[in-house]
Amino acid sequence: DPFAGDPPRHPALRVNSWKPFNAEPPPELLTRSFLTPNELFFTRNHLPVPSVEPGSYRLRVEGPGGRSLSLSLAELRQRFPKHEVTATLQCAGNRRSEMSRVRPVKGLAWDIGAISTARWGGARLRDVLLAAGVGDNTGDDTGDDNEWHVCFEGLDADASGTPYGASIPLKRALSAEAEVLLAYEMNGQELPRDHGFPVRVLVPGVVGARSVKWLRSVAVSAAESPSHWQQKDYKGFCPSVDWDSVDFGAAPAIQELPVQSAITEPRPGAAVPAGELTVKGYAWSGGGREVVRVSGDGGWAGGVGELMGWGIGEIGGGKWGNEWGMGEMGNEWGGGLGK
Ligand code: MTE
Ligand code: MO
């Protein structure tokens, strides 16, 4: 059993698939706290969880012109300043079970919990790429508008030895504002095994699939990742396309995700007492765009907030707008907690 070495999991997680392991926190636990506790953070694995011995771990970084680096975990921690960012990760399949009620969709039947928020710590991908010889004009010499890319590979591999992989545009990787991390900490602890121990990519505001876990290699390339998950999955199509007519080459790979929101309490079909009712939920937008308004019947109390990323709040209880300080948010990719 290739999954025999998978780590233990929290019993409260709602499991969509055991092998590979895919699970989400129950809605009411997701909005109990602004940062999702590590053991409740949704997990999306395509393959068995690799066992990595931190002492012998090496990250390979391939820059332009054949230049490369091999970094131990200690070197990654010591050579590059630690940067922290609060960011929400969402799987492209979040809320698929609701979509399937409108029209059947292929894929894991996620409820509303394939989204979670953490405080991530690690080296900036930008700093590591600069150390590998990437300059701000890398990719400018193609003579056309084609973007360059940064390709990532994981240490998890299928039976044929092919690893999980994905890529992001080089422009995002080099942008200081985009805050792309090679993360080794999650909520102040080392990464849990399910979330990429010892190092993962963390791309704020972008579909979870690009935040490659158990990171083995980073390579600057004129082309996107050749991986199945970049080329033949995680793309969006119009409603007339179905699984029999799909041409994956015809659509761009998903990067930034659009706005998303869901109500976590009460759940659909729940019996509720007459009178005033507190409704809880979350709102988030990809690409670092602000959530400027959330409305329910009678409005989201507290009104407009400057949510860069993720907010959780209650409708009807008041005070959404002032319970989350800018101090905690700053220019980050997380929103705030409201009541
Ligand atoms: N990285 C590797 N190496 N293998 C994977 O299966 N899954 C991706 C991404 N990175 C995956 C991966 C997908 S589709 C998502 S949504 C996120 O990891 C989920 O991250 P999490 O499990 O930490 O929530
Ligand atoms: Mo995903």
Which residues fall inside 5 Å of ion ligand 2, going by CB? 44, 91, 208-209
Query: What is the distance in A from the centroid of ligand 2 to the CA of 44?
Result: 6
DSSP classification of residue 337: B
Query: What is the distance in A from the centroid of ligand 2 to the CA of 7?
Result: 19
* 135, pLDDT greater than 90: no
Q: pLDDT (tens digit, 9 = 90+) per residue, 254-278?
A: 999 998 989 899 998 899 989 888 8
Q: Choose one of 213, 214, 216 to mutate for the ligand 1 pocket test, by most ligand atoms within 8 angstroms of C-beta.
A: 213
Supply the pLDDT for residue 288. 84
* 333, pLDDT greater than 70: no
Distance CA 291, CA 324 (A): 14
ipTM reported for the complex, 2 dp: 1.00
pLDDT band at 103 (very low <50, low <70, confident <90, very high): confident
Q: Per-residue pLDDT averaged across 15-20, rounded?
A: 98
Query: What is the distance in A from the centroid of ligand 1 to the CA of 44?
Result: 5
Q: Which residues contact 175 (CB under 8 A, 6 or more apart)?
A: 126
Q: Per-residue pLDDT averaged across 234-239, rounded?
A: 88
* 306, pLDDT greater than 50: no
**Percentage of residues in the chain having pLDDT higher than 90:** 66
Ligand 1 binding site (Cβ under 6 Å of any ligand atom): 41-47, 89, 91, 154, 156, 164, 195, 208-209, 211-214
* 337, pLDDT greater than 70: no
Supply the pLDDT for residue 279. 83
Q: What is the largest CA-CA distance in the chain?
A: 69
pLDDT band at 305 (very low <50, low <70, confident <90, very high): very low
In this structure, of 127-136, 200-209, 213-222, the range with the lowest mean pLDDT score is: 127-136
Q: pLDDT (tens digit, 9 = 90+) per residue, 64-81?
A: 888 999 999 999 999 999
Sheet holding 215-221, edge to edge: 68-72, 58-62, 215-221, 149-157, 163-169
In this structure, of 17-26, 37-46, 103-112, the range with the lowest mean pLDDT score is: 103-112
Distance CA 68, CA 133 (A): 8
Domains and CATH numbers, the chain: 14-250 (3.90.420.10), 260-329 (no CATH)
pLDDT band at 303 (very low <50, low <70, confident <90, very high): very low
Ligand nearest 211 Cα, by number?
1
Supply the pLDDT for residue 141. 59
Supply the pLDDT for residue 199. 98
Between the CA of residue 129 and those of 68, 137, 190, what are the distances in Å?
10, 12, 23
pLDDT band at 241 (very low <50, low <70, confident <90, very high): confident
Q: Which residues contact 304 (CB under 8 A, 6 or more apart)?
A: 292, 293, 321
Atom of ligand 1 nearest to the CA of 47: 6
